[in-house]
C-alpha cells in the first residue's frame, strides 16, 4: 500500500490541537518530532550511537506527521485537512509539506534511530532488533512499536513510565487506556501488577500491542482489547493510566472515576501545560483529588486519587 505523508511544522503548543485534528479526520497514524526532546536524548546517548539528523526547524517548533492511504478521495481529504489546519489560529502559520511513501518505508526506515533507553529507576526500553547488556535491577521492555504510538521516547510516555514505577504495587489491577504499542501495559506487568487490561480503538495498535505483550512474556498478566474503554472496562481498577491528549482525557474522566476503586489512582499524560486546567476541572467534577503533577518541558502528567 502507498501512503501520503503530511508533515506540519508548528509551534510546540500547537502539537496537541494538530494531533487532535489528524485523529478526528481519520489519518492512519500520527508522529511528533520535538527537537528539544531529541537534543535531550542526544546528551544522554553516546554520540557514536546517535544517528538522528538535526531537524531543520526553528526554535520552539515541532514537526507533526500524519499519514493518508492513497485510496479514493485522498486528495479531497488532504484539502480538507489543510483547510482545518489553517483555522488553528496559531501565532506562526503552520508550514505544510507532503511526500508519497511505500508502507515498507514508513514502517521500517525510522528503526535506525531507535536505541535502548533507561527510564526512571528500573525500566529499560529496548528495541527488539537491538542488543543490550542487562544490568542488575533492570526491567527490560522489548519493544517494536510498528505503526502504533508508543516507542517510549516521547516525554508524555516517559512521564507515564516514571509514574508507573512509583505507583504500581504488587498484585494491583491496572487499566491502560489508549495502549498504542502496549508499552505502558507491559511496564505495569513488569513492575508487578497482577492483572493489566489494555484497550485501544485502533485495530493496528491492538495487533502490535498483542505481539509486544507476547514477546515480553507477560501475556498471562496483560490482555488487549479493541474498542471504547468506557464500554469495555468495568469497576475494579487500582490504577488507570491514559497517555492520550487533554480533550480525550477530560471526556474520559467521568468514566474512569467509575472504574477505579476508592483510594485508586488515575495517571493522565499527553497534556500540554496550557490545557492542564481543563483536565484539572474534569478531575474535580469527577471527585478525583490531584495528588501530584510532573512536567517535562511543555508536557504534563497529572496523578489523581479517588476519594476512599
Domain end call among 85, 111, 137: 111
Over residues 83-92, the mean pLDDT reads 79
Residues 254 and 210 placed together within one structural domain of the fold: yes
Query: Which of 111, 138, 157 delimits the end of a domain?
Result: 111
- Asked if the model's pLDDT at residue 290 lies above 60, the reply is yes
State mean pLDDT over 199-217: 91
Q: How far is residue 151's CA from residue 149's CA, in Å, rounded to a whole number?
A: 7
Q: Are residues 205 and 277 in the same domain?
A: yes
Domain span at residue 294 reads: 116-306
pLDDT of 62: 82
Same domain for 213 and 74: no
Q: Which three cell numbers stand for residue 195?
A: 492483572
- Residues 128-146 pLDDT 10s: 666 777 777 889 888 875 5
Percent of the chain past pLDDT 70, that is, above it, reads 81
The model's confidence at residue 249, banded by pLDDT at 50, 70 and 90, is very high
Instruction: CATH number of the domain at 58, please.
Output: 3.30.70.3450
**pLDDT on residue 153:** 58
- Is pLDDT of 199 > 70? yes
Q: Is the pLDDT of residue 42 over 60?
A: no
Residue 151 vs residues 44, 142, 147, 208, 209: alpha-carbon distances, Å: 17, 10, 10, 12, 12
Give yes or no for residue 230 having a pLDDT over 70: yes
Write the pLDDT tens digit of every residue in 174-195. 999 999 889 999 999 999 999 9
- What pLDDT is attached to residue 38? 41
Q: Do 216 and 248 share a domain, yes or no?
A: yes
Least-confidence region, from 2-16, 25-39, 72-86: 25-39
Last residue of a domain, one of 111, 140, 174: 111
Q: Is the pLDDT of residue 49 over 80?
A: no
Per-residue pLDDT, 58? 55
The 117-119 sheet, strands edge to edge = 117-119, 123-127, 139-143
Shared domain for 63 and 132, answered yes or no, is no
Together in a domain, 186 and 221 = yes
Same domain, 121 and 90: no
Mean predicted lDDT score pLDDT of the chain? 82
| pLDDT over threshold 50, residue 37 | no
Place of cell 481543563: 278
- pLDDT value of residue 112: 54
Query: Do 49 and 100 fall within a single domain?
Result: yes
Averaged pLDDT for residues 22-34:
72
- Judge if 84 and 140 occupy the same domain: no
Q: List own/partner pairs for 86-93 with CB under 8 A and 24 or more apart.
A: 88/10, 88/14, 88/17, 88/18, 88/21, 90/10, 90/11, 90/13, 90/14, 91/11, 92/10, 92/11, 92/61
Average pLDDT on 154-173 reads 93
Question: Are 83 and 203 part of one and the same domain?
Answer: no
pLDDT above 90: residue 60 = no
Average pLDDT over residues 191-218: 93
Is it the case that residue 32 has pLDDT exceeding 50? yes
* CATH at 262: 3.40.50.150
Q: Are residues 173 and 292 in the same domain?
A: yes
SS3 228: coil
Write down the pLDDT at residue 2.
Answer: 79
CB count in 10 Å sphere of residue 140:
16
Residues 66 and 178 in one domain: no
Average pLDDT over residues 269-286: 94
Q: Number of folded domains in the chain?
A: 2
Amino acid at each position: 500500500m502507498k501512503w501520503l505523508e503530511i508533515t506540519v511544522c508548528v509551534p510546540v503548543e500547537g502539537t496537541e490541537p494538530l494531533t487532535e485534528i489528524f485523529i478526528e479526520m481519520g489519518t492512519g497514524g500520527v508522529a511528533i518530532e520535538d527537537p528539544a526532546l531529541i537534543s535531550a536524548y542526544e546528551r544522554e546517548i553516546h554520540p557514536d550511537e546517535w544517528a538522528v539528523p538535526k531537524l531543520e526547524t526553528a526554535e520552539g517548533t515541532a514537526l507533526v506527521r500524519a499519514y493518508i492511504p492513497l485510496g479514493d478521495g485522498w486528495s479531497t481529504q488532504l484539502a480538507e485537512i489543510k483547510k482545518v489546519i489553517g483555522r488553528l489560529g496559531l501565532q506562526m502559520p503552520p508550514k505544510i509539506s507532503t511526500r508519497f511513501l511505500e508502507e515498507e518505508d514508513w514502517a521500517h526506515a525510522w528503526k535506525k534511530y531507535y536505541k535502548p533507553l533507561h527510564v526512571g529507576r528500573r525500566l529499560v526500553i529496548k528495541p527488539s532488533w537491538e542488543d543490550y547488556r542487562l544490568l542488575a535491577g533492570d526491567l527490560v521492555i522489548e519493544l517494536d512499536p510498528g505503526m502504533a504510538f508508543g516507542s517510549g521516547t516521547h516525554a508524555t510516555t516517559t512521564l507515564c513510565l516514571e509514574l508507573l514505577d512509583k505507583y504500581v504495587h504488587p498484585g494491583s489491577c491496572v487499566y491502560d487506556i489508549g495502549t498504542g504499542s502496549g508499552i505502558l501495559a507491559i511496564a505495569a506487568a513488569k513492575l508487578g501488577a497482577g492483572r493489566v487490561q489494555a484497550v485501544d480503538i485502533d485495530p493496528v495498535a491492538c495487533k502490535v500491542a498483542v505481539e509486544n505483550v507476547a514477546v515480553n512474556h507477560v501475556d498471562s498478566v496483560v490482555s488487549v482489547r479493541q474498542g471504547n474503554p468506557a464500554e469495555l472496562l468495568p469497576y475494579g481498577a487500582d490504577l488507570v493510566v491514559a497517555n492520550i491528549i487533554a480533550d480525550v482525557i477530560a471526556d474520559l474522566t467521568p468514566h474512569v472515576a467509575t472504574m477505579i476503586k476508592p483510594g485508586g489512582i488515575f495517571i493522565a499524560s499527553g497534556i500540554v501545560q496550557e490545557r492542564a486546567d481543563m483536565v484539572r476541572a474534569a478531575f474535580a467534577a469527577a471527585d478525583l483529588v490531584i495528588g501530584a503533577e510532573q512536567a517535562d518541558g511543555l508536557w504534563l502528567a497529572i496523578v489523581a486519587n479517588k476519594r476512599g
